[in-house]
Amino acid sequence: MKQAKLGSWIAIIVGSLYFIVPLIGTFEFSMRMRRGEYSFAAYRVVFADPNFQATFAYSTMMALATIVIGVVLVVPTSYWIQLRLQKLRPLVEFITLMPLVIPAIVIVFGYLRLYNSSSILPLTASARSTDLLLAFSYVTLALPYMYRAVDTGMRAIDVRTLTEAAENLGAGWPTVLFRVILPNVRVAILSGAFLTFATVIGEFTMASLLNRPAFGPYLQLIGANRAYEPSALAVIAFVVTWACMGLINVVGRGKQIKATP
């Protein structure tokens, strides 16, 4: 067993090195912009770039739209499946897993053929409707995570009793769904939302092929043309991802604390 413990330490140390060294390397590189000294110049350049601000704001809006559409789509579905339509559960689960099987680039390829400007539903004809298509494509990407998070939350509460209690008190189904069920699966929705945000904010394939001014294509452009800014952007992206995962832990913990007393 002593040897096994030594082996475990070696695995953890080698693993930590592999994961931490690139982070240090990226941070160090991002500070090298001024010759001969370390500075935050690359970050200042990035933050002052109007294209950075515009694309980051655009992708943030996209992420928020994705989350709202995703919640509106997933919460009622999961609720009705749990309450009345149990037989549809395998089908719905299969559909929500499909975006993991079909690569994103294939899905967007299908959109471009199906919704091009000469089709019956020309979604790519104008900028606004392409935005909508991009948001829908992100909802598709986020579907596996969003559905699983909400469905787990939905199973953890007693949907049937809550619904009956609310109905006995005279609530119609919109009230039941949005004022009784929704607050009870809030933590699950928030977890799904932060995961969606982390996925969508730097997404490249969909935004690039639909020609929208999102953060992902901006990253690609900077990566191809600049030396130090890409590292600064990588550090920023890592911080955003870390913040999203941290928030998932925070909202998850808040629930446990509330449940104990």
Quick one: 79 or 261, whose CB is closer to other proteins?
79
Token pair, residue 195, equals 């995961």
Q: What angle do CA 166, 171, 172 make, to 5 degrees?
A: 125
Pick the stretch among 6-14, 33-41, 151-159, 251-259 that binds other proteins (CB under 8 A): 6-14
Q: Rounded to whole angstroms, how far apart are CA atoms 254 and 258?
A: 6
Q: How many residues bind other proteins (CB under 8 A)?
A: 83
In the bound complex, what is the minimum distance in angstroms from residue 171's beta carbon to other proteins? 13
Residue 104 found at the interface with other proteins (CB under 8 A): yes
Residue 175 found at the interface with other proteins (CB under 8 A): no
In the bound complex, what is the minimum distance in angstroms from residue 50's beta carbon to other proteins? 20
In the bound complex, what is the minimum distance in angstroms from residue 217's beta carbon to other proteins? 9
Residues between 189 and 218 that touch other proteins (CB under 8 A): 195, 198-199, 202-205, 209, 216
In the bound complex, what is the minimum distance in angstroms from residue 49's beta carbon to other proteins? 16
Exposure class string for 44-72: b at 16+ Cβ within 10 A, else e = eebeeeeebeebbebbbebbebbbebbbe
Quick one: 72 or 169, whose CB is closer to other proteins?
72
Residues between 62 and 91 that touch other proteins (CB under 8 A): 72-74, 76-77, 79-81, 83-85, 88
Long-range contacts, 57-61 (Cβ 8 Å, 24+): 58/212, 58/213, 58/214, 58/215, 59/200, 59/201, 59/202, 59/203, 59/207, 59/214, 59/215, 59/216, 60/201
Binding-site string for other proteins from residue 142 to residue 171, where x marks contact by CB under 8 A and - marks none: -x----------------------------
Residues between 7 and 46 that touch other proteins (CB under 8 A): 7-9, 11-12, 15, 18-19, 21-26, 28-30
Quick one: 23 or 261, whose CB is closer to other proteins?
23
Q: Rounded to whole angstroms, how far apart are CA atoms 261 and 258?
A: 7
Among 55, 66, 124, 231, binds other proteins (CB under 8 A): 231
Token pair, residue 53, equals 């601000």
Region for 211 from its dihedrals, namely left if φ exceeds 0, alpha if ψ lies in -120 to 50, beta otherwise: left
Among 103, 183, 252, 254, binds other proteins (CB under 8 A): 103
Question: How many CB atoms within 10 Å of residue 101?
Answer: 9
